[in-house]
Amino acid sequence: MKLNVAVQMDPIGRIKIQGDSTFALLLEAQKRGHTLSYYTPDRLSLHGRDLVAPIQRLTVRDQAGDHFTLGEPRREALQSFDVVLLRQDPPFDLAYITSTHLLERIHPQTLVVNDPASVRNAPEKLFVMDFPQLMPPTLISRDLEEINAFRARYGAVVMKPLHGFGGAAVFRIAPQDMNFGSLFDMFAVTFREPWVIQQFIPEVKEGDKRIILVDGTFAGAVNRVPAADDLRSNMVRGGAACATELTPRESEICATLGPVLRQRGLIFVGIDVINGSLTEINVTSPTGIRAIARLGGPDTAGMIWDAIEKKRGIWSDRRPVMAWHSNRGTEISAAWLPWGRPTQTHCDMEGRVYARHAQSRLSPERLVMAKIAPFHHPKAASTDAVDQFQVPGGAIWRYRVPQTWTSRSIIELMPAKNGSQRTRQA
Ligand SMILES: Nc1ncnc2c1ncn2[C@@H]1O[C@H](COP(=O)(O)OP(=O)(O)O)[C@@H](O)[C@H]1O
Ligand SMILES: [Mg+2]
């Protein structure tokens, strides 16, 4: 079964495909055989109960200057789609908020990614304040007295608009900064909302890490190092993308956020972490997919579509996946990998399976695929492993899994007593 997908995005003719995550999502969807349609947010209308737009069939090509073809516009109700990708860029203003109100009317019958109500309720620099233990000291205010007290306590700070994006109007203010008064006045007339005043993190020169979580699980990361003469790491501001891996602290941040994001229906999220401190949870239209792929990291677009297909109940209908399981003494675990054959795998003392993907520069230790509890399914039917990897203290067998399988089926892979591998379809 294929999905009928509509994307709500800014004019597709103007995007730079090399860095555009929406485009990466469209390429992947098309590769999987899903049907793509396109409209811009300004063309959304609510007529009675029908949410309609002049929708155009879309095909995409990874070719700069010739990256798309659009069909004739046809007035269609969005209710007739399986999935709508909400992918317009900020500003997160009343137009954006209205668009979430409109899309909320069709969700979840039509799966809107991300959940429009959750997008509305999670302004990126405010939502993050739910996790003060993960953040640098931060004040949301436009009150001079509060701001002065905060500066007196924390020294150098960063001042930025609450709904800013792409590094716009981010200032570092030194403890005795002579520009502060003027900057305060300028912010006061320019931004009606409170601002973010945050302790300055000097380690930002080492980079601001963008970490992608898919349905609450770590999917990939890229470090963005600011230009020598800029505070801002954003790639649109000249930040350089570098391959990276997660520190234990960052894994802990992902583990803390994961359940909350999943519960809110925030399938595709990009968080920003500077020196182990969380500064932003991007939910409107996060980026990073293409930079991560270019640096040899995981296929985060594939993982996002896996998550969407799973939610639409068609995941098992997809291309064959490979499954691995390992034994270590009596402990048996299985893992499934969406990225094809790993070049290196190993299994740790707890039976976790680690794999290093062919193009990945991440160390196997950092790439935790899955830990699936020991499985002992008595009714397994046998099938042959494609190949086998030796790992310290055991082995990992690789299977080609039938297309009809769900991840549950893979969990139920089991070894037979004689050492030949057996499986059972769930
Ligand atoms: N507290 C801080 N300390 C040091 N640098 C910061 C801080 N906050 C932001 N920056 C720099 O400014 C950039 C943009 O800030 P961010 O809060 O991510 O807003 P935006 O939504 O514009 O990306 C960051 O990538 C980082 O380089
Ligand atoms: Mg940012």
Question: 377: closest CA among 346, 347, 408?
Answer: 408
349 and 303 together in one domain? no
350 or 157: whose pLDDT is higher? 157
Mutate to test the pocket of ligand 1, among 204, 229, 277 (most ligand atoms within 8 A of CB): 204
Q: Classify 216 in phi/psi space as left (phi over 0), alpha (psi -120 to 50) or beta.
A: left
241 and 196 together in one domain? no
Lowest mean pLDDT among 146-160, 313-327, 366-380: 366-380
Classify residue 98: in a domain, yes or no: yes
pLDDT at 297: 83
- Indicate which CATH number applies to the domain containing 33: 3.40.50.20
Classify residue 129: in a domain, yes or no: no
pLDDT at 313: 75
Q: Chain centroid to CA 122: how far?
A: 15
Expressed in angstroms and rounded, the spacing between residue 300 Cα and the centre of ligand 1 is 23
Helices 21-31 + 300-311 axis angle, to 10: 60
Can you tell me whether residue 322 is helix, strand or coil? Answer: strand
Lowest mean pLDDT among 31-45, 67-81, 187-201, 330-344: 330-344
Classify residue 382: in a domain, yes or no: yes
Lowest mean pLDDT among 130-134, 154-158, 304-308, 347-351: 347-351
pLDDT at 413 over 60: no
User: Is the CB of residue 68 less than 8 Å from the CB of residue 57?
Assistant: no
- pLDDT level of residue 416 (50, 70, 90 thresholds): very low
Q: Which of 259, 278, 311 is the last residue of a domain?
A: 311
Q: Which of 60, 87, 120 is the last residue of a domain?
A: 120
Classify residue 131: in a domain, yes or no: no
397 and 304 together in one domain? no
Expressed in angstroms and rounded, the spacing between residue 294 Cα and the centre of ligand 2 is 20
* 87, 120, 125, 366: the active-site residue: 125
pLDDT at 388: 52
Lowest mean pLDDT among 6-15, 86-95, 244-253, 342-351: 342-351
Domain count, the chain: 4
Catalytic annotation on 160? yes
Can you tell me whether residue 128 is helix, strand or coil? Answer: helix
Helices 180-190 + 144-154 axis angle, to 10: 140
Please indicate whether residue 90, judged by its CB atom, sits closer than 6 Å to ligand 1.
no
Q: What mean pLDDT do residues 256-268 have? A: 96
Catalytic annotation on 224? yes
89 and 189 together in one domain? no
Classify residue 297: in a domain, yes or no: yes
Classify residue 401: in a domain, yes or no: yes
188 and 212 together in one domain? no
370 and 387 together in one domain? yes
User: Is the CB of residue 112 less than 8 Å from the CB of residue 84?
Assistant: yes
- Indicate which CATH number applies to the domain containing 304: 3.30.470.20
Q: What is the pLDDT of residues 191-233, one digit of tens each?
A: 999 999 999 999 999 999 999 999 999 999 999 999 999 999 9
**Pairing between β-strand 157-161 and β-strand 195-199 as defined by DSSP bridges:** antiparallel
pLDDT at 298: 84
Q: What mean pLDDT do residues 90-96 have? A: 95
Question: 347: closest CA among 367, 362, 322?
Answer: 367
Q: Which of 200, 223, 246 is the last residue of a domain?
A: 200
* 282, 306, 356, 398: the active-site residue: 282
pLDDT at 402: 43
Classify residue 125: in a domain, yes or no: no
336 and 401 together in one domain? yes
- Indicate which CATH number applies to the domain containing 184: 3.30.1490.20
Residue with tokens 């980079």: 207
116 and 155 together in one domain? no
Mutate to test the pocket of ligand 1, among 92, 160, 201 (most ligand atoms within 8 A of CB): 160
pLDDT at 164: 94
- Give the whole-number percent of the chain exceeding pLDDT 90: 69
pLDDT at 159 over 60: yes
423 or 308: whose pLDDT is higher? 308
DSSP string, 328-383: ETTEEEEEEETTS-EEEEEE-TT--EEEEETT--S-GGG-EEE-------TTPEE-
Give the ligand whose atoms come closest to the C-alpha of residue 226.
1
- pLDDT level of residue 22 (50, 70, 90 thresholds): very high
Catalytic annotation on 210? yes
Expressed in angstroms and rounded, the spacing between residue 124 Cα and the centre of ligand 1 is 12
Question: Which residues are close to ligand 2, an ion, with C-beta < 5 A?
Answer: 272, 280
pTM: 0.78
22 and 114 together in one domain? yes
Catalytic annotation on 205? no
224 and 188 together in one domain? no
Return the ligand 1 atom nearest residue 198 CA: 1
290 and 372 together in one domain? no
Domain interval for residue 387: 319-423
Classify residue 130: in a domain, yes or no: no
pLDDT at 108: 92
pLDDT at 299: 87
370: Cβ contacts below 8 Å, ≥ 6 apart: 333, 334, 335, 336, 352, 353
Nearest residue (by CA) to ligand 1, atom 15, is 167
267 and 340 together in one domain? no
Please indicate whether residue 235, judged by its CB atom, sits closer than 6 Å to ligand 1.
no
Catalytic annotation on 148? no
